Structure 1
């Protein structure tokens, strides 16, 4: 039996007819937006600090998948607090598309929201991330307990080789790997060329790619303080076989699906009246 929940949909916190606030509650008015966002940030920092220390202290006693689940408890706390304070809910679609074996997740990157959400609700995986994340005090210590593949993005070909070497080792052991192929957070409506690391890893390992699209940037703006109320939708696509495809073909296929799905989500956002 898997140690993670795999429902087809996650939605905070309760059915619409039992919401904490009336439908016309001014979630996104100027003053209210600032106050709610401030309250969320205070709670988020507290949870991240406490969670990081707990995971670090428990590292010697827990194998990887248990550390992953432990970290997920705290990230779920952040997701819950985001819903309570800011009225920002979430819905996952396509969870049934995640196979049981090793896969490579290609996820859209618009904000910090998806780092909490993907950690919270997807089955255990290894992050591929820039090494600077590991340098963040306290938070970086917690991330380090999850044994990520931390790369120097300025290293070019050496970074790709590191991804292939360490990623293949994890995939061969039956694990999953998560990468943001755009390499950085991209503003809503914008796109960016995919890096080659994930695609080369997929080609050489022969593992399928699972694309992930969402519209988080419309509610949690990159480098922004305010968190707008609404419902972030995450769509997990069907895995596609990478056998016989070049890295360029793999990137093109994943990018086409992610960009098309993200654009469709952004055109049908669920935002309460302000």
Structure 2
């Protein structure tokens, strides 16, 4: 049954993203960046809703009160990354527009990537590290000033359930450069949507939002260690069976 549900969901995503992506590409030159963003979020809402109906995946949000409330209050969201699910969900859950920092290769993905390229986000060339970070700071500051929150995955890639990746300090470097606080977020999406798995299973994905951590006067590595400690401790609280120590033989 889960195989059939997953197949139907994948087909639904493919069938809907093609006309939606084309519509964004065609309409983008005539719309404001804000309108383009919400047009794309419209498809994400459809994708998430289809995940609820076809896959049986539900979201449970913890700590929503920790998010800044002012219209232009800056924030840099640093998330645990386990699957595509949180990438789709975050723009539909947050009260502010989001700007992902992502590798430019994603722009070449048919329809989905083409639509992403019309959005006001930060795509970087990872082969040019110094130039890429300067671009992140410049664009990040501009986006934060207009009330858009920047979102990054500090581990850089999807991490299997129960495992911990290497936390890189790019997000905290950006926070210190712009003066924005960082908000750590733990996500248990791999319980339902495992990394690189086609078959998804019904269940509840928890998004736990930590309190904002000020960046003023901090060092990037030291600040990232605090973010890492909070996220990993929260992951073990939310999904303890995944992090259970193996039984000694």
For normalisation by structure 1, the TM-score amounts to: 0.82
> Does the CA-based 8 Å contact 1:163-1:197 persist in structure 2?
no
Name the counterpart of 2:46.
77
CA distance in 2, matches of 1:133, 1:89: 27
Q: Deviations over 1:158-204 (max 9, x none)?
A: 32222222212322333211111111111111112222221111111
Correspondences of 1:19-34 after superposition (within 5 Å): 32-34=1-3
Name the counterpart of 2:113.
140
- Give the counterpart of 2:233 among 260, 267, 271: 260
Correspondences of 1:46-195 after superposition (within 5 Å): 46-99=15-68, 100=70, 101-122=73-94, 123-195=96-168
Q: Deviations over 1:100-137 (max 9, x none)?
A: 31111111111111111012221202110111111111
Q: Deviations over 1:22-58 (max 9, x none)?
A: xxxxxxxxxx111111011001112222221222222
CA distance in 2, matches of 1:79, 1:175: 21
- Mark the CA change 1:268 to 1:48 in structure 2 (over 3 Å): closer, same or farther: farther
Q: Deviations over 1:41-83 (max 9, x none)?
A: 0011122222212222221233222222221121111111111
CA distance in 2, matches of 1:115, 1:51: 18
Q: Deviations over 1:131-150 (max 9, x none)?
A: 11111111111111212211
Name the counterpart of 1:213.
186
**Root mean square deviation of aligned Cα:** 1.7
Say which SS state the counterpart of residue 198 (structure 1) adopts. Answer: helix
Question: Unaligned 5+ residue runs, structure 2?
Answer: 243-249
* CA shift for structure 1 position 268: 7.3
Name the counterpart of 2:245.
none
CA distance in 2, matches of 1:64, 1:92: 28
For normalisation by structure 2, the TM-score amounts to: 0.90
Name the counterpart of 1:233.
206
Question: Aligned residue pairs: how many?
Answer: 238
Question: Unaligned 5+ residue runs, structure 1?
Answer: 1-31, 270-274
> Does the CA-based 8 Å contact 1:163-1:198 persist in structure 2?
no
CA distance in 1, matches of 2:167, 2:137: 16
